[in-house]
Amino acid sequence: MTSVADIKADAEKPRRWGWWYVAELRLREMRGYVSYVVTSSFANPLMYLLALGIGLANLIPEGMEGVPFLVFVAPALLMSTILTVGAEEGMYPVLSGFKWHKIFFAIHATPITPGQIVGGFLVHLTIRFTFTAGVFYGFLVAFGAVPFASGWVMIPIAILGAFSILTPLGAYAASLDDDTGQFALIQRLVVMPMFLFSGTFFPLSQVPDWLEWVGWVSPLWHATQLGRTFSYGAIEPIWLSATHLAVLIAYAVIGGYFMKRAFVARLTR
């Protein structure tokens, strides 16, 4: 016979481990598209490295900043890949959980809180980002683009960079009742310019002065510069490296705060 103590203990589990239950649910849902996650995790780095890192490198034999072009662009390719996945996960999957799939409402019907839903959502994505970034990093090492000893630090930097764009977009997506083209505009006016003008293929100093501000507000540039520091030892003032880290943390934390607020407002209205 189940005792009162056992019932209380079972009732406490969602309050204590609710975030993990949400993460586990999201991971189980991934089984429906795990082939896409695995295939893209292997295909994307190979395509980028062959087309951009090696193909484009033949057009720039002198390299960039005193290193071969492949070495220069490798951190940017890793960061841009993970940040792009982060941007995607912060839009349709969030809105779907409220509008089409409605899974967030189903979860909230249990003792699990909106904050735990957000936490579990982010934990699940941390696991996915780690896998994708780890595979990409393995390709970079195999191509001789990054050193194995210190280059691995790019993986947590890439994950932080992904959250720096995911959480603000997640907060925005959670506030929408429908998608009437907002996400397409974000892809065209935010994600694509971020990829093109964040020092991905050339130093930010080579960008026209009137466009340099794009790099300074872009999480991709800050993540890429940190990655280059740990990859091939790009030289920059310590205050600038600290600024890169501070900007990424600020985007992720502030975005996470507003994402939680948006979830609370949507689930309790």
In angstroms, the CA 69 to CA 76 distance is 11
Decide if 46 contacts 146 (C-beta within 8 A). Answer: no
Region 11-26: what's the mean pLDDT? 77
Q: What is the pLDDT of residue 7?
A: 45
Comparing 13 with 146, the larger pLDDT belongs to 146
Region 231-253: what's the mean pLDDT? 93
pLDDT at 4 over 50: no
Nearest CA to 32 among 93, 80, 82, 85? 93
In angstroms, the CA 8 to CA 65 distance is 62
Angle between helices 238-268 and 219-231 (to 10 degrees): 140
Q: Give the number of other Cβ atoms within 10 Å of residue 54's Cβ.
A: 14
Q: What is the pLDDT of residue 149?
A: 79
pLDDT at 9 over 60: no
C-alpha distances out from residue 160 to 12, 17, 77, 100, 125, Å: 31, 23, 15, 29, 11
Q: What is the pLDDT of residue 1?
A: 52
| Model confidence pLDDT, tens digit, residues 62-117 | 777 778 888 898 899 899 999 999 999 999 999 999 999 899 999 999 889 999 99
Q: What is the pLDDT of residue 255?
A: 97
| Model confidence pLDDT, tens digit, residues 146-199 | 888 788 999 999 999 999 999 999 999 999 999 888 999 999 989 888 888 888
User: For all residues of the chain together, what is the average pLDDT?
Assistant: 86
Indicate if the alpha-carbon torsion angle 150, 41, 247, 260 is positive or negative: negative
Nearest CA to 95 among 81, 105, 108, 85? 105
Q: What is the DSSP letter of 55?
A: I
